[in-house]
């Protein structure tokens, strides 16, 4: 998924902004990679990987406003990747069941009460049966 963080991407007063995120639900568990901006601290701007299982909770600092993130699933391994300067880097990985994956994406202002826009472009699912719902 390509993303570009638009207007309103200033430091929030509290908590954080998910400038762009993509996630998958697999067998009732959630896995997500996000481009976030926090209220403060040494790592305000990061790529962040998370799972509802607690297995994944990783981040890497980055100030870019446009970029790419993706998941790659091979067998039972789900890799969380981000792209910087045309180089794909693995942020995290998790062991997942072979169950179908439900993909979702969006943006969020978590307790930050700040409006902003995120543009999504170039979203692809590369293999497998695909169904859509709204």
Residue 128 has pLDDT above 70, yes or no: no
Query: Under 8 Å CB-to-CB from 131, ≥6 apart: which residues?
Result: none
Helix (H, G, I), strand (E, B) or coil at 14: coil
Strand partners, 37: 17, 45
User: What pLDDT score was predicted for residue 54?
Assistant: 95
Instruction: Record the pTM.
Output: 0.84
Closest CA to 18 of 40, 47, 41: 47
Closest CA to 134 of 97, 98, 106: 106
Give just the sign of the alpha carbon dihedral 51, 45, 59, 99.
Answer: positive
Calculate ∠ Cα 117-122-26, nearest 5°: 90
Q: CB-based burial of residue 44 (10 Å sphere; 0-12 exposed, 13-18 middle, 19+ buried)?
A: middle
Helix (H, G, I), strand (E, B) or coil at 87: strand
- 107 band by pLDDT with thresholds 50, 70 and 90: confident
Per-residue pLDDT of 69-98, as tens digits, reads 999 999 999 999 999 888 999 999 999 999
Among 46-50, 104-108, 130-134, name the one with the lowest average pLDDT: 130-134
Per-residue pLDDT of 4-50, as tens digits, reads 777 767 788 888 888 788 999 999 999 999 988 888 777 788 999 99
């Amino acid at each position: 998924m390509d993303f570009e963080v638009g207007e309103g991407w200033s430091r929030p007063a509290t908590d954080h902004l998910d400038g762009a995120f993509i996630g998958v639900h697999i067998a009732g568990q959630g896995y997500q990679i996000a481009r976030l901006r926090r209220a403060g601290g040494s790592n305000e701007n990061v790529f962040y990987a998370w799972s509802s299982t607690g297995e994944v909770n990783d981040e890497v600092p980055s100030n870019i406003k446009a970029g790419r993130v993706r998941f790659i699933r091979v067998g039972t391994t789900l890799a969380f990747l981000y792209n910087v300067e045309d180089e794909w880097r693995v942020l995290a990985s998790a062991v997942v069941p072979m169950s179908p994956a439900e993909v979702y994406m969006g943006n969020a202002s978590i307790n930050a009460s700040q409006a902003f826009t995120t543009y999504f472009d170039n979203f692809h699912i590369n293999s497998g049966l695909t169904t859509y719902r709204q």
